[in-house]
Structures are given as C-alpha cells and as structure tokens.
C-alpha cells in the first residue's frame, strides 16, 4: 500500500519588487504603523548625499519621500516576529519598492 503525502506548502516569498503609486505608498505607511514594530528608518537625500537616520517619525519620512524631498527610504520592521527591510526609491510619479525578508 502506497501512502500519498500532500505537497509541502510553498514558502513565503522572501523577496518582492514592485511599484507603488501615491495611494499605495500611503497604504504601506499606514500598514507599517498599524501592524509592525519599526526597527530602523533611514533616508537618502540625493545621489551625492549620505543616508541618514530618520528621527523616528515614520509618517514624516514617508511624507518626505512622497514629496520628493528625499530620494529614497529604507525601513526595517518586524511583523509577527519576522524582520523585513523595505527600500523605497521615488522616481517621477511612482515609488519602486524592494522588500527583503531578513534572516535572523
């Protein structure tokens, strides 16, 4: 007698890349503030400038990115014990998102 085993569930995606419009960027900010514990937030002003720590105000950092006052934002946060890193680069009318699951 042969036993059939069910296939293992697909692992959660540990890498994601996409583009967000203004509404999507706002939803991402709201979701992080509601459901995550922010570990680190850094912004980059321009091509020649060094990145700097945000003062801890995530909503303000997202606002600066949306307004084009900073070029990029990197935010690390934990959700249900899993650490994630989102890199957001504002260009023209959209924002590129690269999300990576960080290994402990």
pLDDT at 88: 97
Question: Mean pLDDT per segment of 10 residues, for the chain of length 104 residues?
Answer: 59 79 96 95 68 69 92 94 95 92 82
Domain count, the chain: 1
In a domain, 9, yes or no: no
Domain-embedded: residue 43: yes
- Predicted TM-score (pTM) of the model is 0.78
pLDDT score for 41? 94
- On whether residue 50 sits in a domain, the answer given is yes
Q: Which domain holds residue 75?
A: 18-102
Domain assignment present for 76? yes
Sign of the alpha-carbon dihedral angle for 24, 29, 34, 35: positive
């Amino acid at each position: 007698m042969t036993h059939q085993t069910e296939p293992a569930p697909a692992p959660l995606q540990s890498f994601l890349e996409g583009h967000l419009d203004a509404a999507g960027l706002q939803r991402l900010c709201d979701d992080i503030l509601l459901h995550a514990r922010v570990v680190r937030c850094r912004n980059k002003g321009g091509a020649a400038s060094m990145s700097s720590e945000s003062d801890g105000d995530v909503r303000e950092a997202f606002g600066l990115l949306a307004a084009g006052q900073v070029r990029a934002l990197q935010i690390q946060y934990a959700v249900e014990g899993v650490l994630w890193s989102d890199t957001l680069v504002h260009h023209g009318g959209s924002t590129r998102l690269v999300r990576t699951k960080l290994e402990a």
